[in-house]
Amino acid sequence: MAFISSGYNPDKPMENRISDIGPRHYSEFLPPVIKNNKGKWLWHEILEPGILMHKAESGEEVYTVRAGSPRLLSVETIREICDIADKHCDGYVRFTTRNNVEFMVDSKDKIAPLKEDLASRKHPGGSFKFPVGGTGAGVTNIVHTQGWIHCHTPASDASGTVKVVLDDLFEEFQQMRLPAQLRISMACCLNMCGAVHCSDIAILGYHRKPPIIDHENLENLCEIPLAVSSCPTAAIRPSKTTIKDPKTGEDKTVKTVAIKNERCMFCGNCYTMCPALPLTDGEGDGLVIMAGGKVSNRISNPKFSKVVVAFIPNETPRWPTLVKVVRQIVEAYAKGARKYERVGDWAERIGWERFFEACDLEFTHHLIDDFRDPAYYTWRQTTNFKF
Amino acid sequence: MPKRETPLLDQLESGPWPSFVSEMKRQSESRHAKENEVQYQIPVDVCDDLLGVLELSYKEGEVHWKHGGIVGVFGYGGGVIGRYCDQPQMFPGVAHFHTVRVNQPAAKYYKADFLRQLCDLWDFRGSGLTNMHGSTGDIVFLGTRTEQLEEIFFELTHNLNQDLGGSGSNLRTPECCLGESRCEWACYDSQELCYQLTMEYQDELHRPAFPYKFKFKFDACPNGCVASIARSDLSFIGTWRDEIRIDQEAVAAYAGGEISPNGGAHAGKDWGPFDLQKEVIDLCPTECMWMEDGKLKINDKECTRCMHCLNVMPRALRIGNDRGLSILVGAKAPILDGAQMGSLLVPFIKAEEPYDEIKEVIENIWDWWMEEGKNRERIGETMKRMGFQRLLEVTGIPPMPQHVQEPRTNPYIFWKEEEVPGGWDRDIADYRSRHQK
């Protein structure tokens, strides 16, 4: 593995340096039919699941074939996407916010061969590489975070939980039989790198044990005042303790922190500020399920997802309880909601007490908010409840 | 075959949904197959070791990546995320496994030649594994070693005319919906505004100087396809302030069942014949629509532009012509004090180049936040702590009913001294002349 330089000279880092040039301008990458009709689209139609047609004022049409992806893509697969784009779409392709790949063509007769081509491509393990779907009143790709693959604070894996849920809901990705679109999102810790807090169904990685204090290293790894101030519930205070010096075996006093465990809500903010306070734990960590959020302003206001299952353990590799719970919610929603009604709107119409019945979910004390002001606004202050 | 046994991960190769494990194995096999023709600049078995460390996490239920680490390219404070494995002896191929964030072209359109250039670069100098795309929108290159970072940056800027994205306490890579490029509901050119603001604020993107992260997201209409209202500190949502354009013939065609509603989005189930009264007029949240003499009427003054009727009948109803955008401030995920939705600050602003009015709003907010914001405090939390009125003061925006869901329910009004005639300083002797002790 000989080191090959690109031309960068570490002795003169500023020589020929180019910086702050920003991204490439999108107009370089727009397919001609898109570029010609930009800002002049009249209407669209979903011809079948995963296939869209947009009609322009000029009379021109663009057909889009949308395919799912696991978000984590090898460059080998991206090259394959390029080959498909070259073969069918003059080399143009786009990705969606929800990690789908979209192939666009300018006439209807180009769809069938493209669709056939995509459907024929499978991984050796049996999964589709480019399943077509993800449009309209169905489930689209699950946006997610890094999980155990690449993050330092996750309480679960992201790619794996998404894979097992979408394996189970695969037909919902390829159909449009739901009352409205159903957006599922996954975040592997409370930091929520995606917008899972406003999703129809959210899968959230969660820790349940307070940080372990690495007394021996804390003083060297952390700014104690920063660790103290990082805690939103004031559970951390500066402290001193006596430990055995690992080298000499003698007692020594070190500066460290103490934690009031009962105040901890396991957010992990202290760990972000102080690496000597790790939280991850095979027994403690798992998933929270939230439901009923949305970001669209359509009919009702955007709303947050609500916690409906306080804990599901990390049952690797296929998380059967998670899959079962998500399926229960999807089925109950499909059965109970009216056309155009999102999960949260349905739950509010029938009442959350009915939501738990319909989804066959247990209501526990963990689902009553006890965190500061937001808690008060969620308690019921009326006699208009249902038995 | 990858060099390690991964019995747990192997179970994620079956099932119809595309397997990320298969992706990792595919890259592993490719690297071993091309080992003699490509001089890989990081260990050839990087994917095998990544599978190995992930398998260990699946076995234990615990993560094996260390906390951060400061790495980056010269002159930038963001764009690279340092990552080290906490079992480097077991998995030397991923002992260093830094992420590189690459600023995506707006709305994620690509041409194959550019994608191939990115692939070649990342195959050669990194793991060959990517995220297309990360949650914030960047092209994410997963895993390389420190000595490759400057080389990657040099090749990106010199040969690919392409820059890094943001990470750390700076402006994060702005992201937009596809807007006018392929949507009839775009109220402004979200791609162009995203691009122009990304270019304007390159310094803020690459050199962390903020209390915490700051996100711009651009939704060209209130449907919100990039979720800006939920996850961006400044959310730009397209809207209009004149009348919805109605094609009465198309309305009749929808009513008569000749065109399927909602662009055919409900085709997978038999919902019965389309009922215009029930599915559009009765679901209008402001009840501002009715049928009169066989024609659809809208009292546009009462419309809140929720998009439902347009979504249901895209061939009959079109957005108005007096278009612009609304700016909302302060959305964030729950960390630390609970989730916040964006709050409406500017109900309507034109989105016309050079976007000076929009930039003025942004810069006023930044000046205030950089002055008053605490370390690791998002603008939404600063607003909550200091009050929405301060945001109005610093941006010079007059208060209006659009700013609130409802007026305050407590009368604890913080009157300022200059608002009260005579000010606050009073003479106790004068008071006593009128009131005995």
Residue of A7, A197, A273 with shortest CB distance to B334: A197
Low-confidence ranges of chain A (pLDDT < 50): none
Does this complex have an ipTM over 0.95?
A: yes
Q: Do B150 and A10 touch (CB under 8 A)?
A: yes
CA dihedral B349, B353, B355, B356 (to 10 degrees): -110
Beta bridge partners of A243: A252
CB burial class (10 A; 0-12, 13-18, 19+) of residue A335? exposed
**Rg for chain A, CA atoms, rounded:** 25
B111 inside 8 A of chain A by CB: yes
Interface of B with A in 6-25 (CB under 8 A): 8-25
Does the beta-carbon distance from B109 to A26 stay under 8 Å?
A: yes
Helices A320-336 and A159-168, packing angle to 10 deg: 50
CB atoms closer than 10 angstroms to residue B372: 16
d(CA B346, CA B324): 11
**pLDDT < 50: residue spans in chain B:** none
The whole-angstrom separation of Cα B10 and Cα B18 is 13
CA separation for the pair B27, A112 (Å, rounded): 30
| Contact criterion met (CB below 8 Å) for A121 and A33 | no
To test the contact with chain B by mutation, choose from A69, A150, A301, A315 the residue with the greatest count of B C-beta atoms within 10 A, namely A150
B104, B198, B266: residue with CB nearest A176: B266
Q: What pTM was estimated for this model as a whole?
A: 0.97
Which long-range CB contacts under 8 A does B278-281 form with residues at least 24 apart? B279/A339, B279/A340, B279/B312, B280/B308, B280/B309, B280/B312, B280/B313
Decide if A228 contacts A312 (C-beta within 8 A): no
Q: Which chain B residue has its CA at the smallest distance from A193's CA? A: B135
Mutate which of B14, B63, B102, B225 to disrupt the A interface (most A C-beta within 10 Å)? B63
Residues in chain A: 387
Q: Which residue of B has its CA nearest to A313?
A: B61
* Amino acid at residue number A84: I
* Inter-chain touch B41–A8, beta carbons under 8 Å: no
pLDDT digits (tens, 9 = 90+) for A44-95: 999 999 999 999 999 999 999 999 999 999 999 999 999 999 999 999 999 9
Q: Which residues contact A361 (CB under 8 A, 6 or more apart)?
A: A308, A309, A325, A328, A329, A355
How far is B431 from chain A, CA to nearest CA, in Å?
41
Collect all residues of chain A within an 8 Å Cβ-Cβ radius of residue B51.
none
HEC secondary structure over chain A? CCCCCCCCCCCCCCCCCCCCCCCCCHHHHCCHHHHHCCCCEEEEEEEECCEEEEEECCCCEEEEEEECCCCEEEHHHHHHHHHHHHHHHCCEEEECCCCCEEEEECCHHHHHHHHHHHHHCECCCCCECCCECCCCCCECCCECCCHHHCCCCCCCCCHHHHHHHHHHCHHHHCCCCCCCCECEEEECCCCCCCCHHHCCEEEEEECCCCCCCCHHHHHHHCCHHHHHHHCCCCCEEEEEEEEECCCCCCEEEEEEEEECHHHCCCCCHHHHHCCCCCCCCCCCCEEEEEECCECCCCCCCCECCEEEEEEEECCCCCCHHHHHHHHHHHHHHHHHCCCCCCHHHHHHHHCHHHHHHHCCCCCCHHHCCCCHHHHHCCCCCCCCCCC
B65 φ, ψ to 5°?
A: -105, 135
Which residues of B fall within a CB distance of 8 Å from A25? 105-106, 195
Provide CB contacts within 8 A for B173, sequence distance 6+. Answer: B101, B103, B104, B136, B137, B138, B165, B166, B198, B205
d(C-alpha A162, C-alpha A168), whole Å: 10
Residue carrying structure tokens 């109605």: B246
Look-up of token digits 């907010």: B365
Please give the residue of chain B at the shortest CA–CA distance from A53.
B263
Q: Which amino acid is at B260?
A: S
CB-nearest partner of A29 from B13, B110, B336:
B110
Residue pointed to by tokens 């999960």: A343
Q: Count how many pairs of residues, chain A against chain B, have C-beta atoms within 8 Å.
A: 455
Residues of B in contact with A20 (CB under 8 A): 163, 202-203, 206
What pLDDT is stored for residue B3 in this prediction?
A: 82
**pLDDT at B69 (0 to 100):** 74
> Could you tell me the two tokens for A378?
């969620």
- Please state, as a whole number, how many other Cβ atoms lie within 10 Å of the Cβ of residue B105: 24
CA distance A146 to A157: 7
**Which residue from B324, B339, B174, B364 is spatially nearest to B237, judged by alpha carbons?**
B324
Tell which residue, B141, B167, B191, has the closest CA to residue B41: B141
User: Which among A127, A184, A321, A322 is the top mutation candidate for probing chain B, defined by the most B β-carbons within 10 Å of its own β-carbon?
Assistant: A127
Tell me how far CA of residue A304 lies from CA of A206, A257, A345, B53, in angstroms. Answer: 18, 35, 12, 35
For B309, how many CA atoms within 13 A lie in the half-sphere containing its CB? Answer: 32
Three-state SS for chain B is: CCCCCCHHHHCCCCCCCCCHHHHHHHHHHHHHHCCCCCCCCCCCCHHHHHHHHHHHHHHHCCCCECCCCCCCCCCCCCCEECCEECCCCCCHHHCECCEEEECCCHHHEEEHHHHHHHHHHHHHHCCCEEEECCCCCCEEEECCCHHHHHHHHHHHHHHCCCCECCCCCCECCCEECCHHHCCCCCCCCHHHHHHHHHHHCHHHHHCCCCCCCECEEEECCCCCCCCHHHHCCEEEEEEECCCCEECHHHHHHHHCCCCCHHHHCCCCCCCCCCCHHHHHHCCCCCCCEEEECCEEEECHHHCCCCCHHHHHCCCCEECCCCEEEEEEECCECCCCCCCECCEEEEEEECCCCCCHHHHHHHHHHHHHHHHHCCCCCCHHHHHHHHCHHHHHHHHCCCCCHHHCCCCCCCCCCCCCHHHCCCCCCCCHHHHHCCCCC
CB contact under 8 A, A78 and B307: no
Q: Which of B122, B157, B268 sits opposite A21 (nearest CB)?
A: B157
A195 contacts B333? CB cut-off 8 A: yes
B157 and chain A in contact, CB less than 8 A = yes
Distance CA A50, CA B273 (A): 23
Rg of chain B over Cα atoms, rounded to whole angstroms, equals 28
Distance CA B30, CA B9 (A): 19
